[in-house]
Amino acid sequence: MNDPVLAGKVALVTGASRGIGAASARALAAAGAHVILVARTARDLEAVEEAIFEAGGSATIAPCDLAEPDAIGRLATAITTRWPALDLLVINAAVLPVLTPVWQIEPRDLNRGLLLNVAATQALIASFHAALRKAKAARVIGLTSSVGAGPRAYWGAYGASKAAFDNLLDTYAQEVRGISDIRVAIVDPGATRTAMRAKAFPGEDPASVKSPDVVAARIVALAAGDFVSPHRERIENIA
């Protein structure tokens, strides 16, 4: 294991079964945190958990479909019963709606994106806010996309959901400032080798973009170190 700078900390990572989520979970565990792995598929989570165990780390899987009604509330009840304080919440799970002109966006596809990328984010914050306040200098780290800040043709559905995601996290950062030690970071990692990236850019050589491990290392640094600003940080295009 690496230097356990997060020893004794409890971290929850959504979308932890693959990509940036899985890499972040492994890196956080290597830094000493006990990591709660959240995603829909138990078998995929078990593979990440096994890798963490083999590296000498500690983790617990919590299979959960964040889009299901009341699923996040049940998840929070189960977790906070065992760990009353939560040191780190990494909001990574997201869905990419079909890339299409705005006038051709299917309502069902848009609603699915807004449900997981926006509504689930608010539900996670609402459900874990009390546990975050019980921790010393808790962090909330959300993974976003450049299309949330800068519109791009054909990315309207995903971009709109990420714009709302960014707004929610920024608003939360303002609301907790002065009343808690919670710090909020919004991370736009830039081009990264993930399944979502491959879906959006099917002709791209995966080797031409960075590994999720690079992003994971930055997330560990945010979890362990001080922020430039007291309560809010935005990171873009991690190299």
- Burial class, 190, CB count within 10 angstroms (exposed 0-12 / middle 13-18 / buried 19+): middle
Task: Tell the residue number behind the tokens 């873009």, with chain if given.
Answer: 236
Active-site residue flag, 158 = yes
Spell out the residues 6+ positions from residue 76 whose beta carbon is closer than 8 angstroms to its own: 127, 128, 131
Q: Quick one: tokens of 43?
A: 């078998």
C-alpha dihedral, 158 to 163 to 166 to 172, nearest 10°? -120
Spell out the residues 6+ positions from residue 40 whose beta carbon is closer than 8 angstroms to its own: 17, 63, 64, 65
91, 141, 143, 158: the active-site residue: 158
Active site residues: 158
